[in-house]
Chain A
Amino acid sequence: MHNKRKIQDNLLKSLTIGAALMTASALFIVFYFVFTSGFSLLSFDLLVSDYKTEQYNTTLDDTIETTMFEEPEGNEAFFSQIYGISLKDAENKDAEAIIVIDYIAPESPFNTLKSINENETVNASEGGVITRISFENTSTALTREGAESMINKLDGGHTIREIIFVEPGGGIRGSIIATLYLIGLTLVMALPLGIFSAIYLNEFAKDTRLTRTIRSFIDTLTGIPSIVYGLMAVSVFIPLTARFNMASGLSIYAGAMTMTVILLPVLIRTTEESLASVPNDYREASLALGANDVQTTFKVVLPNAIAGLLTATFLSIGRIIGESAALIFVMGTAVRDSVYPSQGATTLAVHIWTLMSTEPANVELASTIALIILTIVLILNTTVKLLAKKFDKLGNR
């Protein structure tokens, strides 16, 4: 009998350990996958460059005098002494051979190329791709001949007629800006609404049937999947923004309104909790000193709930960064490089959706964005933990 009991106990115990281990390994697998497939693409360039590939047909600005350039130390690519540029062979994401600019001397004429069609200056920057250089003597240097041949032809002394320079795309600058716009606009609407509603419900509202109903509505709203909010937003916010001439269809404005509605229930709940955790002693002390309820709320209760409010704000930012389903409906899936709040755009999360729904799916870039999102969420959560600690110190005086 005793033995049977022991086996039962151990079985239950190992079940709990097993479950905990499985959860931990699931988290580890996610991190491992995202890290291994996304880390190689992660670079500062990615964050600041455009998504769309731009091709420029350019020529040299012949007002600039050419001198001889020194080869930089440790250069492993092929270097042109006349033009001060080094090129190397590389492969693009689709495994095609390309010639990439490895280094440009500061004085190089390649720094100020002139566009042939439009009258503008194009800076060939490091990491840019040169697909073809044509010379006045009708010879050309092509990608398939390789970087060494292109350098030899450059140093051959012929006048250049045309350089086709490609700024490779795949950057996420637009999506980052769109995400920042969305965060800013949403917080501007959601924070005052959420915080003031919570203050009303927790501090001023009497416990009546109406307030109980409002509370249960808020609780129900928390559980509704965001795609349902997205549907609602398409039929409410998009016409609304059009009516007030803010946008003519998909827009970040509509996205921010949608996010506001999604965030409000959680925001109100978290704020209420942080208000409720302010000791009642403070309220009593303030009221006993002849302060009215408004003064008590804004001078005593709110300042002591500020850490909780910050926590709610950071959690909201995390939620905005992570939302995708609802935003696909109201902000669209077209990745943009120039972002305006009155137009559609993709946030980082929706950018992943776009990348994965094209043929072929760009898993690598999607993973890189996922890695960035994970990092941001991790930072936000750590901040929340630190704030909570500070909050505790105040609470347990």
Chain B
Amino acid sequence: MDTAFKIENLKVAYGETVALKNINLELYPKSITALIGPSGCGKSTFLRTLNRMNDLISICSISGEVYYHENNIYDKQCDVIELRKQVGMVFQKPNPFPMSIFDNVAYGPKRQGVKDKETLKQIVEKALKQSALYEEVSDRMDASALSLSGGQQQRLCIARALAMEPEVILMDEPTSALDPIATQKIETLLDDLKKEYTIIIVTHSMHQAARISDYTAFFYMGELIETSDTNTLFSLPKKKQTEDYITGRFG
């Protein structure tokens, strides 16, 4: 099968502390892959290696290969900006910029040099419609993004990522700061988005992983324990640790 990401022998360390080791994994396009595991297992670190956000941490060292399509993104020739344009990210805590709703969504395209107001307006509207937020904010695009509720803010952040027309969207526990209703809205949204986008989501909730994902990868103590399609992993786990985790014996 065609892969979006192919990870080989990945090892990530923060100084002396090894956060991830021996990771070999393939991530498939136009599907949702959930990364699960207990706190500190390295699943967020793994997510952040996929768009090189770990570059921001100076003590972080990475070895192994991460192929995005055919290109190793840790090659010297790799253009990080170009990579991040194609691999968007949504964070745990909704983090809209303290500017208007419109400016938040238009931020990415503007930085790439899109100046024409009509074009920007179309991009913003499309992204907001895709993230199912348009109806709620169409009459107050100039209002501050901080005036939105937490769930709306998170959907705005998704719209902001969609405005870049990426291929992949990385999500780092996007619903952990939200109430159940807002969470449900986002889960429905993800189900729609996977028709066009590759979604990789870190989640604390096994139920969420079981509900929304097509593939699941279980991380434990910096290692990838098991990965398969979600149904198999949850019904017939091959490894003891996976079974213990999904049956709630630890974690």
Contact = CB atoms under 8 A, between A and B. Distances in A.
Most buried by B among A283, A285, A288: A288
Interface in B105-121: 107-108, 111-112
A209 interface: no
A286 B89 CA distance: 10
Given A206-B58, A289-B108, A289-B111, A284 B84 contact: no
Contacts of A304: 98
Contacts of A5: none
Interface string A190-226: 0000000000000000110000000000000000000
Contacts of A285: 91, 95-97, 157, 160
A106 interface: no
A283 B56 CA distance: 10
A298 to B, nearest CB: 11
A283 B107 CA distance: 13
B111 A397 contact: no
A59 B11 CA distance: 98
A284 B58 contact: no
Nearest to B88: A288
Interface in A256-284: 279, 281-284
B85 interface: yes
Contacts of B53: 284, 287-288
Nearest to A295: B111
Most buried by B among A282, A394, A397: A397
Contacts of A279: 95
A304 B96 CA distance: 13
B95 A289 contact: no
A289 B160 contact: yes
Nearest to A291: B111
Contact of A288 (B89, B96, B112): B89
Nearest to A278: B98
Contact of A299 (B93, B95, B111, B157): B111
Contacts of B112: 290
B127 to A, nearest CB: 12
Contacts of A240: none
Nearest to B58: A207
A303 B84 CA distance: 23
A283 B161 CA distance: 14
Contacts of B95: 279, 281-282, 284-285
B71 to A, nearest CB: 16
Contacts of B82: 290
A299 B89 CA distance: 19
A63 interface: no
A388 interface: no
Given A281-B91, A281-B95, A285-B97, A290 B81 contact: yes
A288 B174 CA distance: 15
Nearest to A279: B95
A351 B108 CA distance: 55
Contact of B81 (A292, A300, A397): A292
A397 B111 CA distance: 25
A284 B94 CA distance: 12
Nearest to B52: A287
Given A207-B58, A281-B95, A295-B111, A288 B51 contact: yes
A187 B95 CA distance: 34
Nearest to B157: A285
Contacts of A303: 99
B73 to A, nearest CB: 14
A40 B112 CA distance: 64
A290 B85 contact: yes
B146 interface: yes
A237 to B, nearest CB: 39
Interface string A347-368: 0000000000000000000000
B164 interface: yes
Nearest to B160: A289
B164 A289 contact: yes
Interface in B42-84: 51, 53, 56, 58, 81-82, 84
A155 to B, nearest CB: 74
A284 B56 contact: yes
Nearest to B110: A299
Given A288-B84, A289-B161, A290-B81, 11 more contacts: A207-B58, A284-B91, A285-B96, A285-B160, A286-B97, A286-B107, A287-B84, A288-B161, A289-B111, A290-B85, A394-B98
Interface of A: 206-207, 279, 281-292, 295, 299-300, 303-304, 394, 397
Instruction: List the 10 shortest-distance A-B pairs measured between CB atoms, nearest first.
Output: A281-B95, A289-B108, A288-B89, A290-B85, A291-B111, A290-B84, A285-B95, A295-B111, A397-B146, A290-B81
Interface of B: 51, 53, 56, 58, 81-82, 84-85, 88-89, 91, 93, 95-99, 107-108, 111-112, 146, 157, 160-161, 164
21 contacts: A206-B58, A281-B95, A282-B97, A285-B95, A285-B97, A285-B160, A286-B97, A288-B53, A288-B84, A288-B88, A288-B89, A289-B88, A289-B164, A290-B81, A290-B82, A290-B85, A290-B111, A292-B81, A300-B97, A394-B98, A397-B146
